[in-house]
Amino acid sequence: NAGVTQTPKFQVLKTGQSMTLQCAQDMNHNSMYWYRQDPGMGLRLIYYSASEGTTDKGEVPNGYNVSRLNKREFSLRLESAAPSQTSVYFCASSEVQGYNSPLHFGNGTRLTVT
Amino acid sequence: GDSVTQMEGPVTLSEEAFLTINCTYTATGYPSLFWYVQYPGEGLQLLLKATKADDKGSNKGFEATYRKETTSFHLEKGSVQVSDSAVYFCALSGYKAAGNKLTFGGGTRVLVKP
């Protein structure tokens, strides 16, 4: 009963390095999302994929790229990490894209950029 | 734009005390409202939701009523347990929100002491 699985759980990068955060869901959900969580700011949407084959920018997309590899997997890439990208990253999925469809979250990736 | 304001924490309570976390929102139209809970080291989980005015969402002894006249969705529980210690997020999803975008409040940390 895995739900949404994110890897890695923790990562430390130096400024300018790149990395990809992986996310997979086993609930046959159509829509997937990447959020970042910063203290006192709640969660902010980075990118989302309403369905396989589509991706769109969210609230804070600068410095990130995404790939919807298939229905199950949605990855987030940092091409050149910056200290401002130090955050906890959450992947989420929902059955459909719709304002009544609740999100299911992974356990997060804690990223530190030095 | 849409926004959610919730009381800052931490809120420290004794076991069996009454819990209230205030949440107010700004949105156009008729958003859906949610409470999510985040236990230590985990992702967010949907706690309850309400999709129209005067709806009451409830789950695990928690309740919240969608009050359109006061644009509020306060979370309450009559008798908290140590296991309720977590961070609670109020969120809304507007009818026209792109990508099922949830707008989150900043979160309220609740600590229940035995």
List the beta bridge partners of residue B21: B75
Of B95, B104, B108, nearest in space to B62 by CA: B108
Dist CA A32 CA A91 (whole Å) = 7
Q: Maximum CA pair distance of chain A?
A: 40
CB contact under 8 A, B99 and A58: yes
- Over residues B28-56, the mean pLDDT reads 91
* Whether B102 and A103 lie within 8 Å, measured CB to CB: yes
**Residue A95 has what pLDDT?**
85
Summarize pLDDT for B105-114 with one digit per residue, the tens. Answer: 999 999 999 9
* Chain B (15-34) residues lying within 8 Å, Cβ to Cβ, of chain A: 31-32, 34
Q: How does the average pLDDT of chain B come out, rounded?
A: 91
**Residues 54-73 (B) with a CB less than 8 A from some CB of A:** none
Most confident of A42-56, A91-105, B52-66: B52-66
What's residue B64's pLDDT?
98
Q: Scanning the structure block, which residue is given the tokens 């949440």?
A: B23
Asked whether residue B21 carries a pLDDT value surpassing 90, the answer given is yes
Does the structure show a pLDDT above 90 at A1?
no
Lowest mean pLDDT among A65-69, B27-31, B51-55, B109-113: B27-31
Count how many Cα atoms sit within 13 Å of the Cα of residue A15 in the half-sphere of its side chain.
4
Instruction: Identify the pLDDT of residue A99.
Output: 61
- Contact state of A33 with B99 under an 8 Å Cβ cutoff: yes
Distances (CA, A) of A76 to A22, A73, A89, B88: 7, 10, 9, 26
Mutate to test the interface with A, among B34, B101, B108 (most CBs of A within 10 A): B101
Encode pLDDT of B82-103 as tens digits: 999 999 999 998 766 555 678 8
Residue A41: band (very low, low, confident or very high) from pLDDT cuts 50, 70, 90: confident
Determine the residue among B102, B108, B109 to mutate to test chain A binding: the one whose Cβ has the most chain A Cβ atoms within 10 Å.
Answer: B102
